[in-house]
């Protein structure tokens, strides 16, 4: 067991003291750290989100913050779980706890482990340590974290999304950004910075908030083929791990890409693919649980609930996902990607608005997207409709000419550059929109 502990030294460079961030295997590979809000860990904390969204680097930032606050570095144990079995990790932690009466244990990529939830339950019940567990298989995290009642997880679960546009701006521009929620968008303090915000908005669309893509775009003004390929592999890998067909997933995604902002339903997609509609639903549910996309249901306004038989809309969690899928499906070069973005700007902005409003409202388990998010159509369609405090509020993206419609709820129009009583430039709205307290 001592050999196992010794083999962890490279993963835990803070044990030696000094400027350990220069030696850390993850931190030394990146040009600059993209900062997010720090969460206060206690008991067992779970952070779940799509792979490559920055969870490992974030865990290292939490460790650095702990050390700055006076925690003994030798009491902090980080384990990359894709290198060990559950039994090996259990033995490592047990050995660590013999040496220290209290510990801070980071279990990165915990969903690689078989029966990881049982292991986490055993650790949490010991009460001798604080635990931070991350996972890049959000389907597994969602499935099993909900089976840990009374283990200190309640209130300690977080979504790790790509960086929002607001977070991106705060990292790349040194300007003060007033923050607000979706229903109180006071952009007055943002207007003087409109030129900078609008220019950065265009850049953000290419990166989709993924840290690797942001660093590449800041350095080279483009996203590498390797990063786009990595994201495609993340998507297809998630599908494969859940026992679903990669080929069916590819065809579903191609169908969604071709539909753009149009409504669709499981039956129509299934008919075009020659599969059963339940197959389409299962694949989309897997991709939604993996935080690749959101399936928006249509609201029945009179009953204040979703009308499940009506058509749906599909939006992506990040604009980098459809950009990567376009290259995967169509091939081509970076110039083709530039053309794709320009030709689909309104659709991409509409997806950004939907994902950002959802990030601003969602809380794991207690306030998931199904309870507040959707859209509305009758004769006219409103892109995103939020249910909050018993009332509906509409958000409609109008990146071309702003044409207003009458809906049975107040509606905010998100424009390219028009500002008036009920119209705000989309870039200003997203620059001020804060994530919820449970979205990192």
CA proximity to 110, closest of 53, 40, 164, 55: 55
Residue 298 has pLDDT above 60, yes or no: yes
pLDDT at residue 141 in the model: 52
Task: Give the residue-averaged pLDDT of 226-237.
Answer: 94
Let me know: does 364 contact 159? Beta carbons within 8 Å: yes
3-state helix, strand, coil in the chain (%, to 5): 50, 20, 35
Task: Give the residue-averaged pLDDT of 11-18.
Answer: 94
How far apart CA 334 and CA 327 sit, in angstroms, is: 9
Alpha helices in 136-178 (DSSP H): 138-145, 165-172
Residue 382 has pLDDT above 60, yes or no: yes
CA triple 32-34-37, angle to 5 deg: 145
Query: Helix (H, G, I), strand (E, B), or coil: what is residue 40?
Result: coil
Residue 237 has pLDDT above 70, yes or no: yes
pLDDT, one tens digit per residue, over 158-178 is 999 999 999 999 999 988 899
Residue 257, CA atoms < 13 Å, CB-side half-sphere: 21
Q: Please tell me the least confidently modeled range out of 81-90, 149-158, 377-386.
A: 149-158
Query: Helix (H, G, I), strand (E, B), or coil: what is residue 81?
Result: helix
Tokens, residue 270: 């299934």
Q: Please tell me the least confidently modeled range out of 114-128, 236-250, 275-289, 402-416.
A: 114-128
Q: What are 424's strand-pairing partners?
A: 414
Percent of the chain with pLDDT over 90: 73
pLDDT band of residue 8 (cuts 50, 70, 90) is confident
pLDDT at residue 281 in the model: 95
pTM of the model: 0.92
Residue 117 has pLDDT above 80, yes or no: yes
Mean pLDDT of the chain: 91
Tokens, residue 389: 């405090």
Residue 1 has pLDDT above 50, yes or no: no
Q: Please tell me the least confidently modeled range out of 1-5, 30-34, 60-64, 104-108.
A: 1-5
How far apart CA 417 and CA 272 sit, in angstroms, is: 38
The domain limits of the chain are 2-159, 165-432
Task: Give the residue-averaged pLDDT of 364-382.
Answer: 93
pLDDT, one tens digit per residue, over 317-368 is 999 999 999 999 999 999 999 999 999 999 999 999 999 999 999 998 889 9
pLDDT at residue 127 in the model: 82
How far apart CA 166 and CA 284 sit, in angstroms, is: 28
pLDDT at residue 6 in the model: 61
Task: Give the residue-averaged pLDDT of 73-77.
Answer: 96
Q: Which one is predicted more confidently, 304 or 50?
A: 304
Let me know: does 376 contact 382? Beta carbons within 8 Å: yes
Q: Which one is predicted more confidently, 231 or 366?
A: 231
Tokens, residue 159: 């979504």
Residue 267 has pLDDT above 50, yes or no: yes
How far apart CA 351 and CA 326 sit, in angstroms, is: 15
Q: How many CB atoms lie within 10 A of CB 70?
A: 6
Q: Which one is predicted more confidently, 152 or 341?
A: 341
How far apart CA 163 and CA 431 sit, in angstroms, is: 12
Q: How many CB atoms lie within 10 A of CB 37?
A: 10
CATH topology of domain 2-159: Rossmann fold (3.40.50)
pLDDT, one tens digit per residue, over 204-216 is 999 999 999 999 9
pLDDT at residue 3 in the model: 45
pLDDT at residue 52 in the model: 87
Cα distances from 69 to residues 43, 66, 155, in angstroms, run 18, 5, 23
Query: Helix (H, G, I), strand (E, B), or coil: what is residue 402?
Result: coil
Residue 262 has pLDDT above 90, yes or no: no
Place of tokens 């081509």: 332
């Amino acid at each position: 067991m001592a050999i196992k502990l010794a083999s962890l030294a490279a993963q835990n460079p803070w044990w030696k003291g000094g400027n350990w961030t220069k030696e850390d295997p993850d931190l030394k590979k990146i040009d600059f750290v993209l900062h997010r809000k720090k969460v206060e860990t206690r008991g067992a904390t779970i952070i779940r989100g799509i792979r490559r969204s920055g969870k490992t680097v974030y865990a290292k930032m939490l460790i650095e913050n702990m050390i700055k606050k006076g925690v003994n570095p030798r009491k902090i144990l980080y384990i990359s779980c894709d290198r060990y079995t559950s039994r090996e990790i259990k033995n490592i932690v047990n050995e660590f706890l013999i040496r220290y009466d209290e510990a801070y244990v980071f279990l990165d990529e915990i969903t690689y482990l078989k029966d990881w939830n049982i292991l986490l339950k055993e650790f949490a019940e010991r009460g001798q340590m604080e635990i931070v567990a991350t996972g890049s298989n959000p389907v597994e995290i969602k499935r099993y974290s909900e089976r840990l009642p009374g283990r200190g997880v309640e209130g300690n679960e977080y979504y790790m999304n790509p960086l929002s546009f607001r977070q991106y701006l705060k990292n790349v521009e040194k300007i003060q950004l007033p923050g607000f929620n979706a229903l109180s968008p006071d952009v007055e303090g943002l207007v003087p910075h409109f030129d900078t915000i609008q220019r950065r908005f265009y850049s953000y669309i290419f990166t989709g908030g993924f840290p690797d893509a942001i660093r590449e775009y800041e350095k080279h003004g483009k996203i590498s083929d390797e990063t786009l390929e990595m994201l495609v592999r993340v998507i297809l890998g998630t599908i494969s791990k859940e026992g679903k067909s990669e080929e069916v997933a590819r065809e579903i995604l191609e169908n969604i890409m071709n539909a753009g902002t149009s409504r669709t339903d499981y039956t129509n997609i299934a008919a075009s693919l020659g599969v059963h509609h339940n197959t389409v639903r299962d694949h989309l549910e897997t991709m939604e649980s993996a935080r690749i996309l959101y399936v928006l249901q249509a609201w029945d306004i009179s009953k204040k609930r979703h009308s499940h038989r009506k058509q749906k809309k599909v939006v992506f969690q990040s604009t980098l996902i459809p950009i990567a899928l376009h290259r995967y499906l169509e091939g081509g070069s970076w110039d083709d990607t530039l053309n794709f973005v320009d030709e689909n700007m309104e659709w991409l902005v509409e997806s950004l608005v939907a994902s950002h409003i959802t990030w601003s409202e969602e809380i794991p388990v207690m306030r998931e997207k199904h309870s507040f998010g959707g859209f509305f159509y009758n004769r006219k369609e409103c892109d995103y409709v939020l249910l909050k405090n018993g009332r509906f509020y509409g958000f409609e993206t109008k990146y071309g000419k702003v044409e207003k419609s009458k809906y049975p709820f107040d509606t905010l129009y998100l424009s390219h550059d028009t500002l008036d009583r009920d119209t705000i430039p989309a870039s200003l709205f997203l620059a001020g929109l804060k994530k919820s307290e449970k979205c990192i």
